[in-house]
């Protein structure tokens, strides 16, 4: 997206709350911030969560917990969010802000490979909303684990599907680019689901069950 358009878009989207902004600033002070979603995407995810009113949310890839925070804030008190990540160090940053925002009781952080966490779910578990933002080479595997768990009105959100536009260049053969290109094609060809790829952030795919798959 043109930088000026991106700036305009961000300035005309509801701004982060005070706790959210401090988490954003803390993350950017520790890293380049490239692994953190932008606030327009966070606002979209907050609003989608509020509309869906999910009972169970699964997040694959938590990092410092910004996406976790904005989703949890939109959850009903009895709902829960299972956050999967392999780093206790990075997620410990988010824990402080979850507590401060009063949503820590809705978040079940599980440290370890997400594929193993998903495999350990009780049979019949229904996921109403999932957000995938982790290792790109694992996307197809996470998708295949999540689809059978998806509730009839459930949604899977998958981040970085445009990868700064590199997925559109067949000349880019870097591992993550190739993996994302393969994932995008895999989802499109899967008759169980419908997908809308949105040009928000670094590309966000919104996936739901096809009508005849419910």
Q: What is the pLDDT of residues 33-88, one digit of tens each?
A: 678 999 999 999 999 999 999 999 999 999 999 999 999 999 998 999 999 999 99
DSSP assignment of 18-58, as one string?
Answer: HHHHHHHHHHHHHS-STTSPPHHHHHHHHHHHHHH--SEEE
Contact by Cβ (8 Å): 150, 129? no
The per-residue pLDDT of the chain, averaged, comes to 95
**Which domains, and CATH codes, for the chain?**
3-213 (3.40.50.150)
Cα–Cα dist 91/54, whole Å: 23
Mean pLDDT of 131-150: 98
Q: pTM for the whole thing?
A: 0.95
Among 21-35, 121-135, 161-175, the minimum mean pLDDT is found in 21-35
Reading phi first (left if > 0) and then psi (alpha if -120 to 50, else beta), residue 160 is in left
Say whether 133 sits in a helix, a strand or coil: coil
Q: Sign (positive/negative) of CA torsion 52, 56, 61, 64? A: positive
Does the structure show a pLDDT above 70 at 210? yes
């Amino acid at each position: 997206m043109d930088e000026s358009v991106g700036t305009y878009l961000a300035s005309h989207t509801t701004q982060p709350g005070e706790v959210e902004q401090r988490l954003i600033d803390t993350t950017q002070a520790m890293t380049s911030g490239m692994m953190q979603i932008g606030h327009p995407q966070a606002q979209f995810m907050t609003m989608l969560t509020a509309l869906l009113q999910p009972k169970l949310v699964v997040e694959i890839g938590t990092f410092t917990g910004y996406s976790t925070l904005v989703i949890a804030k939109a959850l009903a008190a009895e709902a829960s969010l299972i956050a999967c990540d392999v780093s206790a160090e990075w997620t410990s940053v988010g824990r402080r802000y979850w507590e401060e925002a009063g949503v820590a009781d809705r978040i079940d952080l599980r440290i370890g490979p997400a594929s193993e966490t998903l495999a350990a779910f009780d049979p019949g578990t229904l996921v109403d909303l999932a957000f995938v933002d982790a290792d790109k080479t694992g996307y197809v595997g996470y998708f295949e684990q999540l689809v059978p768990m998806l509730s009839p009105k459930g949604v899977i959100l998958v981040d970085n599907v445009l990868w700064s536009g590199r997925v559109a260049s067949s000349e880019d053969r870097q591992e993550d680019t190739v993996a994302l290109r393969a994932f995008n094609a895999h989802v499109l060809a899967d008759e169980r689901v419908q997908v809308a790829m949105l040009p928000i952030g670094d590309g966000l795919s919104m996936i739901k069950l096809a009508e005849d798959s419910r």
